[in-house]
Amino acid sequence: MVKIKLSFVILNYKTKHLLRLVLRNLQNLQLSLPHEVIVVDNASGDGSAQMVQRLYPDVRLIVSPVNTGHAKGNNLGITQAVGEYVVIMNSDIIFFDQQDIVRMVAYLDSHPEVALLGPQLRNADDTIQYSCFRPYSLFTPVYRRTPLGRLSFAQKDLAQHLMVDFDHQEVREVDWLLGAALMARKQVLDTLGAFNEQFFLYFADYELCDRIRFHGYKVVYYPDVHIVHYHRRESAQKSFWGGIGSVFNYTTRIHMKDWWIYLRINQRGYASHS
| Residue 185 domain-assigned (yes or no) | yes
Give percent above pLDDT 70 in the chain: 91
pLDDT at 232 (0 to 100): 60
| Residue 245 domain-assigned (yes or no) | no
Neighbouring C-beta atoms of residue 218, cutoff 10 Å? 15
| Residue 159 domain-assigned (yes or no) | no
- Using CA atoms, how far apart are residues 214 and 208, in angstroms rounded to an integer? 10
Mean pLDDT of the chain: 92
| Residue 258 domain-assigned (yes or no) | no
- Using CA atoms, how far apart are residues 103 and 220, in angstroms rounded to an integer? 14
| Residue 225 domain-assigned (yes or no) | yes
| Residue 82 domain-assigned (yes or no) | yes
Quote the domain boundaries for residue 184: 6-135+167-233
Nearest to 142 by CA among 247, 264, 56: 247
| Residue 246 domain-assigned (yes or no) | no
Q: What does the pLDDT look like over 130-171, one tens digit per residue?
A: 999 999 999 999 999 888 999 999 999 999 999 999 999 999
CATH number, residue 129: 3.90.550.10
Q: Are 172 and 261 in contact (CB under 8 A)?
A: no
Q: What is the distance of C-alpha 24 from the center of its chain?
A: 20
| Residue 260 domain-assigned (yes or no) | no
Average pLDDT over residues 27-37: 97
User: Domain count of the chain?
Assistant: 1
